[in-house]
């Protein structure tokens, strides 16, 4: 009996132990189930965050794309305005115009006769294959002011266009020279609306510092021991060497602060006519001025060839002998032939200027004789 009793007690003890194990397993299972539920909630939140971030990026990309497209359309609109204005200047000379637009960067590029363009950030470059335009290479502005002058060398060659901005000023060094070149230039600019120009003297070169672009212009005095210009070590400037009258022809030096005489000689180029002189002043860059004048000389040769063909046709059609035929023949064999393929350099600028004056005179003489004119 005792053994049976002990056996029952053992069975009961084992049953309680199994019951405890079952309870412990049930509790552990419930705990694991709760943990899985928490992890499931956390994973759901991570998914929501990722999905929300992706949607946010998508919305932002759409907004930026729309903004970029709107800016591109605005830039194209500005470029169309500027292109229309610049092309229109080729039809009229000695005219002033201006246009206003949202502030932007405009870059002008001149690389060869057929490669001249300007560009605004988000738009394609606008090509200007025949326009001769003098301007700083890069301008940041909300307004451009445009002026034009005829470029003639015995016959009309082109219309030179000049671009400046309200934040630009031409500072004319008033040196008291007896030639009065400074007064002549200042007076001529007075006739142009809104192109800012001021006198400066020695010691006032830093005046008008509020302008973002300051172009100092001074003059070489052949009778003086030194040039009438600001300090070569301290300032950039354009130095003009008129051969005779200011607006006939001469040399212009694009002086960079600190340059010596050898460097100045390298940066010296000829100019011819008033239109050419203003080209140097408004571009304020040897490279840009040289490129545009090369394009102008190419246009000159095209026009010269057309006039040569016209005069040859007239010569063959005129009766022999006659004053008209003699005048046309002389013009063909002298001025027209001598001016072929000009390169603007000091060795030939004097001859080119003289030949252009002779052509003007011969054209007037042919008209007075009721003969066919050059153009």
What are 272's strand-pairing partners? 249
Each domain of the chain, given as residue ranges in start order, spans: 289-368
d(CA 246, CA 342): 22
**pLDDT tens, position by position, 224-246:** 656 788 988 999 999 999 998 99
Is residue 14's pLDDT more than 60? Answer: no
Per the prediction, the chain carries an average pLDDT of 82
d(CA 274, CA 150): 9
d(CA 174, CA 227): 12
CB atoms within 10 A of CB 220: 20
Among 145-149, 247-251, 252-256, 369-373, the minimum mean pLDDT is found in 369-373
Q: What is the pLDDT of residue 168?
A: 95
d(CA 96, CA 147): 4
Residues with Cβ within 8 Å of 291's Cβ and at least 6 positions away in sequence, in order, are 110, 111, 112, 116
Quote the tokens at residue 112: 């060869």
What average pLDDT score do residues 258-267 get?
91
Q: Return the SS3 of 126.
A: strand
**pLDDT tens, position by position, 132-179:** 999 999 999 999 999 999 999 999 999 999 999 999 999 999 866 667
Is residue 101's pLDDT more than 80? Answer: yes
Between 2 and 311, name the one with better pLDDT: 311
d(CA 352, CA 208): 39
d(CA 194, CA 291): 27
Between 7 and 86, name the one with better pLDDT: 86
Residue 284: band (very low, low, confident or very high) from pLDDT cuts 50, 70, 90: confident
pTM: 0.80
Q: What is the DSSP string of 23-70?
A: HHHHHHHHHHHHHHHHHHHHHHHHHHHHHHHHHHHHHHHHHHHHHHHH
What are 150's strand-pairing partners? 159
Percent of the chain with pLDDT over 90: 44
């Amino acid at each position: 009996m005792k053994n049976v009793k002990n056996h029952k007690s053992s069975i009961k003890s084992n049953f309680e132990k199994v019951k405890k194990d079952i309870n412990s397993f049930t509790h552990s299972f419930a705990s694991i189930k709760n943990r899985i539920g928490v992890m499931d909630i956390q994973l759901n939140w991570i998914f929501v965050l990722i999905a929300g971030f992706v949607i946010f990026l998508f919305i932002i990309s759409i907004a930026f794309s729309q903004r970029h497209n709107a800016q591109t359309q605005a830039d194209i609109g500005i470029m169309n305005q500027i292109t229309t204005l610049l092309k229109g200047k080729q039809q009229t000379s000695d005219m002033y115009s201006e246009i206003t637009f949202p502030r932007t960067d405009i870059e002008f590029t001149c690389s060869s006769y057929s490669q001249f363009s300007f560009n605004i950030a988000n738009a394609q470059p606008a090509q200007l294959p025949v326009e001769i335009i003098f301007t700083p290479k890069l301008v940041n502005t909300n307004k451009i002011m445009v002026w034009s002058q005829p470029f003639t060398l015995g016959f009309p060659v082109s219309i030179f266009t000049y671009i400046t901005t309200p934040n630009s000023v031409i500072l004319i060094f008033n040196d008291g020279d007896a030639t009065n070149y400074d007064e002549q230039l200042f007076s001529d600019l007075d006739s142009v609306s809104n192109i800012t120009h001021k006198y400066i003297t020695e010691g006032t070169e830093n005046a008008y510092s509020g302008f973002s672009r300051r172009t100092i212009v001074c003059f070489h005095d052949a009778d003086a021991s030194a040039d009438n210009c600001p300090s070569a070590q301290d300032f950039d400037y354009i130095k003009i060497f008129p051969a005779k009258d200011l607006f006939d022809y001469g040399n212009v030096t694009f002086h960079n602060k600190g340059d010596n005489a050898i460097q100045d000689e390298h940066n010296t180029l000829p100019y011819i006519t008033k239109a050419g002189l203003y080209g140097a002043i408004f571009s304020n860059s040897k490279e840009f001025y040289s490129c545009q004048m090369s394009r102008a000389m190419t246009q000159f040769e095209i026009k010269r060839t057309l006039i040569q063909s016209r005069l040859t046709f007239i010569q063959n059609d005129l009766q022999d002998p006659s004053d008209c035929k003699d005048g046309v023949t002389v013009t063909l064999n002298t001025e027209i032939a001598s001016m072929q393929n000009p390169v603007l350099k000091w060795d030939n600028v004097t001859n080119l200027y003289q030949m252009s004056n002779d052509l003007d005179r011969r054209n007037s003489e042919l008209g007075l004789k009721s003969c066919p004119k050059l153009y």
